[in-house]
Chain A
């Protein structure tokens, strides 16, 4: 059974560009959460979705947005990229509020 899959694994973008990151949860999991992990720090919560509805949002600017599709996969979008957006973006899936399983992440580098 596949775990949480994220794509792409790595990408490089230029300041001001837009990026879309994708996540497919574990089969049967209805909740997807997104985290940003800057080098040397713990993951920081960005969004949580459950059954296509936003259930929580962390302290991130409006340049960050996300959505969840009927098949429970999810996209994280970041507009007007800044150098400080360079990080590992992690997706976690869960049945509900507990039991997060993380993917391997997308390494975003903004130059």
Chain B
């Protein structure tokens, strides 16, 4: 498949380790945040979301942390697997405005 992000920052992790992907968002008025996973040749796939009245939310093997003071979002993936290899995007929304995407990070899992 064709790569969606040839020049993105890359995070390489060993299979079984935990991964942390960071994102700085731009709009202090944003009140809804989402992490997406995008594999080659596919559209972005929802992973987990969080609203601005929370600072942490957990899913299955994933955790999102939100620090509104410094406008920072992170995605933690526990026990990273080869199938987690993809490009990860954070996205933000403010009220009824459209979804705005960040630059993305490529996660490469080393077996």
Among A14-22, A43-51, A61-69, A70-78, which stretch is in contact with chain B?
A43-51
Does A27 touch B at the CB level, under 8 Å?
no
Interface of chain B, main secondary structure: loop
Does A97 touch B at the CB level, under 8 Å?
yes
How many angstroms from the CA of A37 to the CA of B6 in the assembled complex? 13
Number of A-B contacts (CB under 8 A): 58
Please report which residues of chain A, range 67-111, place their CB below 8 angstroms from some CB of chain B when the two chains form the complex. Answer: 88, 90, 92, 97-98, 100-105, 107
Binary per-residue interface labels of chain A (3-47) against chain B in the complex, 1 for a CB within 8 Å, 0 otherwise: 010000000000000000000000000000101010111111100
Please report which residues of chain B, range 1-53, place their CB below 8 angstroms from some CB of chain A when the two chains form the complex. Answer: 2-8, 32, 34, 36, 41-46
Q: Determine whether the beta carbon of B7 is less than 8 Å from that of A40.
A: yes
Does B69 touch A at the CB level, under 8 Å?
no
Question: Count of A residues near B, CB < 8 Å?
Answer: 26
Q: Determine whether the beta carbon of B104 is less than 8 Å from that of A45.
A: no
Chain B contacts to A: CB under 8 angstroms: 2-8, 32, 34, 36, 41-46, 89, 91, 93, 95-104
